[in-house]
Amino acid sequence: MQGQKQGWTRNKMFVVLMLAVWMLVLAACGNAGTSNGGAATESPAAATEAPESKQEVTSDGAGDTRTIKDTYGEVQVPANPQKVVVLDIGALDNVLELGIKPIGAPSILAAGDPYPAYLNGTDGIENIGSVNEPNLEAIDALKPDLIIGNKDTHDAIHGQLTQIAPTVFVETLGVTWKKNLLLHAEAVNKQEEGQKLLDAYQQRVESVRTALTGKDGKEVSLFRPRADKIQVYLKETFAGTIMEDAGVARPAAQQDAGFSKDVTEEQIADLEGDVILWFNREPDAFAKLEQSALWATLKGVQNGAVHPVDWEYWLSGLGIQAVNKVVDDLNTFVVNGN
């Protein structure tokens, strides 16, 4: 009996021991399960990061960026932007000529107005408001990968635009059109094309300058008749820089520094020129000027050398296509005209 009791005791101890071992095994499995569960909760985050990492090293350059410098400082822009929104006509003009069709652009004066007629290839571009009042919601809806504007007009919304997409701003428009063209070209990774456009322009104005060498004393007047005044355009304007590059002589009253000056009908002598070029947006302003008794005293009027030119590119174009249209007019009315 005692031997049986001892055997049963040993068996009981064995069972207890096995139960203890089994509990330890279960505990270990439980800890392992907790560890795997933690890893599992991290894996979705890792999965969302993986495509971004892959995108940065894609062989076709998708997702790659370049660092360029605009008027605010350094900007990271896409290596080859595909969805560009522009905020002014100068930028629209330039990027179209560089072979890039923007997905969005503004009208000059009022939202929805047609784009300038001198520009080709604007069909299908989404209107985003006007130059002075671009629609941020419309821009955001387009999901651009690059926005191009200028500080003069859009400084107040620069911060909001940078939240939508990388944003490149030139400082101002008009007299800086050459610098702007090169920055626009850099922004869309078309630097070589931009320089070629500028070089071709330089050749054209040199040709005008050479042609005018034998026309000493031929002065060209440029002004804008308005409802309440006459605005004479001086050297520090978009058109003024082109005329100066081309060696076009201006009347003494129009050689002042600055953007423009206002004159009255009584000061009409300031409009004197062998050739008179004018543009305006108010359809009746020039007719009023023509009725002035002093208008007929001007040399250009007497010579039949008064020519209206298109305000869309002489005044508001501000890009390389507008530049070349201005040069075309100089050849037509100054080099080959009266």
Judged against a pLDDT cut of 70, whether residue 18 lies above it is answered with no
Mean pLDDT of 210-231: 91
Query: 139, 161, 196: which is the final residue of a domain?
Result: 196
191 and 313 share one domain:
no
Phi, psi angle pair for 134, to nearest 5°: -70, 145
Say how far apart CA 170 and CA 2 lie, in whole Å: 104
187 and 254 share one domain:
no
Where are the strands (E) in 30-72, listed by range?
Answer: 65-70
pLDDT band at 229 (very low <50, low <70, confident <90, very high): very high
Say how far apart CA 56 and CA 79 lie, in whole Å: 11
178 and 124 share one domain:
yes
Mean pLDDT of 192-196: 98
Q: Give the pLDDT score at 38.
A: 30
Q: Give the pLDDT score at 338.
A: 65
Q: Give the pLDDT score at 135.
A: 98
Residue 138 lies in a domain: yes
- Indicate the DSSP class of residue 308: E
Q: Domain of 140: which CATH number?
A: 3.40.50.1980
Judged against a pLDDT cut of 70, whether residue 46 lies above it is answered with no
Residue 38 lies in a domain: no
Q: Is the separation of the CB atoms in 292 and 230 below 8 Å? A: no
User: How many domains are there within the chain?
Assistant: 2
Structure tokens at 237: 């304007």
Mean pLDDT of 54-83: 78
100 and 148 share one domain:
yes
Residue 134 lies in a domain: yes
Residue 21 lies in a domain: no
Query: 196, 226, 261: which is the final residue of a domain?
Result: 196
Which residues is 65 bridged to in the sheet? 78
Judged against a pLDDT cut of 50, whether residue 257 lies above it is answered with yes
Please report, for residues 52, 110, 141, 150, 309, the alpha-carbon distance to residue 313 in angstroms, rounded to integers and kept in the order given. 43, 17, 30, 18, 9
pLDDT band at 233 (very low <50, low <70, confident <90, very high): very high
Say how far apart CA 289 and CA 226 lie, in whole Å: 9
173 and 247 share one domain:
no
Mean pLDDT of 107-112: 97
Residue 209 lies in a domain: no
36 or 153, higher pLDDT: 153
176 and 114 share one domain:
yes
171 and 219 share one domain:
no
Judged against a pLDDT cut of 80, whether residue 120 lies above it is answered with yes
Query: 196, 226, 255: which is the final residue of a domain?
Result: 196
Measured between its terminal Cα atoms, the distance across the chain in Å is 142
* Number of helical H runs and strand E runs in the chain: 12, 12
Residue 262 lies in a domain: yes
pLDDT tens-place string over residues 289-334: 999 999 999 999 999 999 999 999 999 999 999 999 999 999 999 9
Which residues is 228 bridged to in the sheet? none
189 and 256 share one domain:
no
Average pLDDT of every residue of the chain: 85
190 and 288 share one domain:
no
Q: Is the separation of the CB atoms in 334 and 220 below 8 Å? A: yes
Judged against a pLDDT cut of 50, whether residue 139 lies above it is answered with yes
185 and 252 share one domain:
no
- Indicate the DSSP class of residue 114: P
Q: Give the pLDDT score at 252.
A: 94
Least confident of 1-5, 82-86, 164-168: 1-5
111 and 192 share one domain:
yes
Q: Give the pLDDT score at 113.
A: 97
Burial of 186 (0-12, 13-18, 19+ CB in 10 A): middle
170 and 225 share one domain:
no
User: Domain range holding 164?
Assistant: 65-196
Q: Give the pLDDT score at 94.
A: 98
Least confident of 54-68, 97-111, 197-211: 54-68
Residue 55 lies in a domain: no
Judged against a pLDDT cut of 70, whether residue 32 lies above it is answered with no
Residue 48 lies in a domain: no
DSSP run (H or E) holding 231: strand 230-233
pLDDT tens-place string over residues 165-182: 999 999 999 999 999 999
Burial of 145 (0-12, 13-18, 19+ CB in 10 A): middle
Judged against a pLDDT cut of 60, whether residue 20 lies above it is answered with no
Judged against a pLDDT cut of 70, whether residue 16 lies above it is answered with no
